[in-house]
Amino acid sequence: MCAWRIGGMASRRIKIQGDRSAVYHCMSRIVGKQHLLDGLDQEVFRKMMWKQAEFCGMRVLTYAVMTNHFHILVRVPGEVEIDDGELVRRVGVLYGEHRAHMLEAALRGPGAEGVREEYVRRMGELSQFMKELKQRFSIWFNRRRGRVGTLWSERFKSVLVEDGGKALRTVAAYIDLNAVRAGYCRDPKDYRYCGYGEACGGGGEAREGLSHVMERGNWRSASWKYRMILFGKGYYTKSDEEGAVSWQEWKAVHGQRGRLSLADALRCQVRYFSEGTVLGSREFVEEVYREQREAFGARRRSGARPLRGAEWEGLCAVRDLQKNVIA
């Protein structure tokens, strides 16, 4: 279990143990918050992300690659057995057919177990997935730019998100609305470097991820439901103008200390999604709190804290953020 510092307060990365799967919202920024990534960089990062996830056995549910940071909503599997055929397939996805053929031969020779272990230990672990993705992209980026030195400002942050239901849908929509909040577009379908934009463009992996988020068997069924979340329940047309919330509209509500609707809040910066540590229903947060009681200090008596500042429809976090939760 690792710790990091946020705003002078200690926060912990909570990890689900054993054979249960878990979903995490992961984030990382460019050093100095510089806007260094251009379209080619973002496209390469996107492709590396899918390959690294396939190699590690992760399922990317959605993502957003911005010019100075990225978000990935990823489902980490529980403990699973990987046979030699699957191992070779995953290595081929990440490294290409030549490496896969070399591995296939090595698995038939002496020392096969050592070779196998060298690959398997890198699979199924969130930290390893993020570490390798960031390292591989940094090497490519620095080589392209003739640059040396670190690219990322910190070890990644993560929030444990309840797998399924309102929490998962809310965090996914928040991630896909990054480009809208940044002013790059009015509709996230027009942003190439996010899960929703890729899904609308026909990307099969992105469609599968968001179909899982919406608990639907296919993209056709999931897409219109998800779009209603992105634009609010009153959104029923394909107009780019209807359903969008302007800066002036939500700023006025927030300035009057009113409670924002869920759709409005998702167009703001929400600290819970980056600093809440655990996010989900009250029951889910309490369950994680009880299982990992030692992580929260002797004085703590309960886990779930209702989210503030908007109509979050029952969502809770394990951290009780009080100041500037929505900005």
Q: Which residue has the tokens 């920024």?
A: 29
For residue 31, give the DSSP letter: G
Question: What's the whole-number average pLDDT of the chain?
Answer: 85
Domain ranges of the chain: 12-80+124-317, 84-120
Report the range of poorest mean pLDDT among 17-31, 87-101, 121-135, 136-150. 17-31
Report the range of poorest mean pLDDT among 25-29, 110-114, 253-257, 260-264. 253-257
Of the chain, the percentage scoring pLDDT greater than 90 comes to 60
Average pLDDT on 235-253 reads: 43
Residue 17 has pLDDT above 60, yes or no: no
Q: What is the pLDDT, as a whole number, of residue 257? A: 46
The tens digit of pLDDT for each residue in 59-105 reads: 999 999 999 999 999 999 887 889 999 999 999 999 999 999 999 99
Q: What is the pLDDT, as a whole number, of residue 6? A: 25
∠ at Cα 214 (208, 218), nearest 5°? 45
Residue 250 has pLDDT above 60, yes or no: no
Residue 40 CB-density burial (10 A; 0-12 exposed, 13-18 middle, 19+ buried): exposed
Rounded CA-CA distance 304/301 in Å is 10
**Buried-state track 228-253, b at ≥16 Cβ within 10 A, e below 16:** bbbbbeebeeeeeeebbbeeeebeeb
Cβ within 8 Å of residue 102, ≥6 positions away: none
The alpha-helical segments, DSSP class H, found in 75-203 are 84-95, 97-106, 112-120, 126-145, 165-176, 178-181, 195-200
Q: What is the pLDDT, as a whole number, of residue 15? A: 60
Q: What is the pLDDT, as a whole number, of residue 261? A: 79
Of the chain, the percentage scoring pLDDT greater than 70 comes to 86
pLDDT category of residue 20 using cuts at 50, 70 and 90: confident
Residue 244 has pLDDT above 90, yes or no: no
Q: What is the pLDDT, as a whole number, of residue 186? A: 87
Q: Please state which CATH number belongs to domain 12-80+124-317.
A: 3.30.70.1290
Residue 235 has pLDDT above 80, yes or no: no
Contact 195, 210 (CB under 8 A): yes
∠ at Cα 68 (197, 62), nearest 5°? 30
Residue 195 has pLDDT above 80, yes or no: yes
Q: Which residue has the higher pLDDT, 260 or 60?
A: 60
Mind giving me the DSSP string for 262-303?
Answer: HHHHTTS-BTHHHH-SEEE-HHHHHHHHHHTGGGG-TT----
Give the distance between the most distant pair of CA atoms in the chain.
71
Q: What is the pLDDT, as a whole number, of residue 265? A: 84
Nearest to 56 by CA among 147, 138, 124, 126: 124
Q: Which residue has the higher pLDDT, 253 or 195?
A: 195
Residue 254 has pLDDT above 70, yes or no: no
Residue 118 has pLDDT above 60, yes or no: yes
Q: Which residue has the higher pLDDT, 114 or 231?
A: 114
Residue 147 CB-density burial (10 A; 0-12 exposed, 13-18 middle, 19+ buried): exposed
